[in-house]
Structure 1
Amino acid sequence: MRLPFMLALLAMPLPHAARAAEPHVDVAAFAEVARRHVGERVTLDHCHLVFATPEEMTCVGLASNAATGDVRAVGKLLIRVAAAEMRSRNRALALCDGGDLGEACEVSVSGEVFDASRSFGLGEAWVMGLREATICWPD
């Protein structure tokens, strides 16, 4: 009698807090494979926020060439911040409204991966992003 009950308990889904943390991924690496992760929650590290507006912003991943010291953008994702994240959104608007890739706007961002192509009327082109996102500022 006890064994079926114990097996039933083990098969039940864990509460959200007890689940494993969502994966942390570098933006530069994730931008290339984002299409395979639609609907999943991820945390993007080394995200440089640029062109912030009240509706959305862009997360840019950077790669550097050790030999030349050059830095270039290697991945971009659209970020739509969750409505409850007003404080983070306002900070991004104040600091990251232009295209500067400085350290002030280098953050980690967590959210659900989605294909934003339709909202831009794009057919074959892919515009991937995170929605219901939260920004984790380094300080």
Structure 2
Amino acid sequence: MRGILFAFLGGACITLQGVANTRISHDIGTWQAATVTQLTGFILAALVWMVTRDGHVAEMKQVKPMYLWGGAFAAIIIFSEVTAIQHIGVTFTISTLLISQLCLTFLADIRGWFGLVKQKMKLPQFIGIGMMIAGVIILKL
């Protein structure tokens, strides 16, 4: 249950962040909005880390360098999301974003990328993604 609550919180924050970043980008530019967002995200994460004292800086050396690209992905996510919202609106952007995420996570699960245990996807999972895609198409009409 806790995981579902955090997933809802994360989803809500993704939407709110996209709308806020779109507004910021109108005032100062898209890459500037991505920079401000990354900076404020870093500050909040650092503050939470300092308050919770969860982990040590030395543990960062154990992270594979390939995975450190996560922050760079975040900048691209922000830019892409803001640009999409400006062109197709919030609802269609978030719907399309979720389908993209699901399709890529299917690949990651099926192929065992990033050290994940390979998962077998069955017909119901593929039907579910198909229904989501159909729903987004209907939503756009």
TM-score computed with the length of structure 2 as normaliser: 0.21
- Higher helix fraction (1 or 2): 2
TM-score computed with the length of structure 1 as normaliser: 0.21
